[in-house]
Amino acid sequence: MKIRQALISLSDKRGALDFARGLAAQGVALLSTGGTAKLLRDAGLAVTEIGDYTGFPEMLDGRVKTLHPKVHGGILARRDLPEHLATIAAHDIPQIDLVCVNLYPFRETIAKPGVTLDEAIENIDIGGPAMVRSAAKNHAAVAIVTDPEDYASLLAEMAANDGALSDATRFNLAKKAFTHTARYDSAIANWLTSLDDANVPQTFPKALQFAFDRVETLRYGENPHQQAAFYRDPQPVEGGIASYVQLQGKELSYNNIADADAAWECVKTFGAPACVIVKHANPCGAAIDGKLLGAYEKAFKTDSTSAFGGIIAFNGTVDVDVVAAMSERKHFVEVLIAPAFTPAAKELLAAKQNLRVLEVPLARALQAFELKRVGGGLLVQTPDAFNVQASDLRVVTKKAPTDAQIEDLLFAYRVAKFVKSNAIVFCGGGMTLGVGAGQMSRVDSTKIASIKAQHACLELQGSVVASDAFFPFRDGVDVLAAAGAAAVIQPGGSMRDEEVIAAADEHGLAMVLTGARHFRH
């Protein structure tokens, strides 16, 4: 079906002129509203304003423009039903073959500081979604265009097909259109149901809608008998793992993406050059240094056994020295992540054809919400955004930590934040020495972290220890002291804090409290 008449009504006018010119050049008559009509007319295009077309002016401050039978009849009439065609002919309603609409900027409006309810309400589009849905419903005959990115390809297809668009194109445009209106309505519902009795937005709406776009269907999930797919937020947080560009390697698996996220979220919290190696969602090695090479060498030493088949993340540009060091150690890696790679590093990595290499922009923005599915429901929380500083520390023992110990304590606590609870992390010299993760008792995590260090032949004498939550009993302190630790960082808050602090004093340890727990489940 050749497109003979198009209705264009746009809030986002990017590319509108070129699209309208392209339609006009192919003989398409143009209908338009308000500001869009002025834009086209001022550019010298012949355009019929919607009020002249319907015989009714735009009214009620623009609230009513296109809500008219001559608009929706021309869009919704089925071209394959003679009675539909007879009806619109009897009422002098021409067919509208293409609708180009995007909606009032509701999201942009509510993102403004101090926006009022009245301002938000006036940016809820009514006529636009109605036209979009009408055209999408009748996609068998009508093309609905909601995305400026589609303009050029649609003009090219029309030019190649005597002014027509294929059934497949119109159906795909309809899918996109229904998604567009669904997300628009979701944004409205989320914001309105977040308002309290004083119309002040709260953190958690009463009704919560989410939207994600499928990036790819994965080979399988956590296990081969599970199906899986990867979806991306249509407006992904800056610097999130979903923004990756894969430079080489096999397809990413479900576990690859999950572990890559864990490694990336940890490494990007450090200001100094850093390396984090993750295995099964836990950092098995992490370090900072003056250069990425030094950070990698230190992180690898923590647990070279677990590092095999792990995920490595760097917070700086990876050069050929780092790649060469990985090769010298015959370090098998599933995924390598960094903000950038030098040309020489890329050339060397190209020999490892199966190695997945990802570039991710380095930005420290956080998601608005963290989500976890439970049976029949969803747990939603704000992200753990607290990064302890030296000024947050409270010394509770007779012995205070040295400046060097404070640096290591802060490093250790930052790593512990990304270790599954119960988490105990031994550190020294800007590197992890032993990591105890995911145990049901804190003392067992302490023992495991100590054993890990021993197996790696790493000296714990004079080390520091981070605990993601308080010590419920003194036994964990006894174990870490026996292993050689000299200072401890923990949030505090146990009913036995006095007993735990007394144990630290008994062993001659320095202990500082942060007041902030970092459980990770």
Paired tokens of 230? 């990867």
Any residues with CB less than 8 A from the CB of 458 and at least 6 apart, and which?
301, 302, 433, 434
Q: What percent of the chain has pLDDT over 90?
A: 82
Q: Which fold has domain 243-359?
A: Cytidine Deaminase; domain 2 (3.40.140)
pLDDT at position 449 is 96
- 280 among known catalytic residues: yes
- 137 among known catalytic residues: yes
pLDDT digits 0-9 by tens, 30-87: 999 888 999 999 999 999 998 888 887 776 776 777 778 889 899 999 888 898 989 8
Paired tokens of 19? 């699209």
Neighbouring-strand partners of residue 279: 282
Strands (E), 233-306: 245-248, 274-279, 282-288
Phi, psi of 447 (to 5 degrees): -65, -45
Cα 164 to Cα 143: distance, rounded to the nearest angstrom: 10
Residue 303 has pLDDT above 80, yes or no: yes
Paired tokens of 113? 């500081």
Q: What percent of the chain has pLDDT over 70?
A: 99
The phi-psi region of residue 473 (left if phi > 0; otherwise alpha if psi is between -120 and 50; otherwise beta) is: beta
Per-residue b or e along 278-312, where b marks 16 or more CB atoms closer than 10 Å to that residue's CB: bbbbbbbbbbbbeebbbbbbbbbbbbbebbbebbb
The secondary element (H helix, E strand) that includes residue 312 is strand 310-314
pLDDT digits 0-9 by tens, 411-441: 999 999 999 999 999 999 999 999 999 999 9
Q: What is the pTM of this model?
A: 0.88
pLDDT at position 293 is 97
pLDDT at position 55 is 80
CATH 3.40.140.20 given to domain 390-513: yes
pLDDT at position 46 is 93
For helices 16-25 and 151-160, the axis angle rounded to 10 degrees is: 10
Cα 393 to Cα 402: distance, rounded to the nearest angstrom: 13
Cα 495 to Cα 266: distance, rounded to the nearest angstrom: 31
Mapped onto helix, strand or coil, the DSSP state of residue 247 is: strand
pLDDT at position 63 is 73
pLDDT at position 446 is 96
pLDDT digits 0-9 by tens, 351-377: 999 999 999 999 888 888 999 999 999
pLDDT at position 127 is 87
Amino acid (one-letter) located at 377: G
pLDDT at position 495 is 94
Locus of tokens 């989410």: 210
Alpha-carbon Rg for the chain, nearest whole angstrom, is: 30
| CB contact at 8 A, 342 and 320 | yes
> Of 13, 137, 250, 346, which is the active-site residue?
137
pLDDT at position 125 is 85
Q: What is the rounded average pLDDT of the residues 163-186?
A: 95
> Of 13, 84, 176, 280, which is the active-site residue?
280
The residue ranges of every structural domain in the chain are 5-192, 243-359, 390-513
pLDDT digits 0-9 by tens, 462-477: 999 999 999 999 999 9
**Mean pLDDT taken over the chain:** 93
Q: What is the rounded average pLDDT of the residues 101-118?
A: 89
Cα 432 to Cα 429: distance, rounded to the nearest angstrom: 8
pLDDT digits 0-9 by tens, 451-509: 999 999 999 999 999 999 999 999 999 999 999 999 999 999 999 999 999 999 999 99
pLDDT at position 34 is 83
Q: What is the rounded average pLDDT of the residues 152-178?
A: 95
According to CATH, what is the number of the domain 5-192? 3.40.50.1380
Task: Report strand pairing: 245-248 vs 356-359.
Answer: antiparallel
Q: What is the rounded average pLDDT of the residues 119-125?
A: 89
pLDDT at position 426 is 98
Domains 243-359 and 390-513 share a fold: yes
pLDDT at position 138 is 95
Locus of tokens 């990867």: 230
242 — pLDDT class (breaks 50, 70, 90)? very high
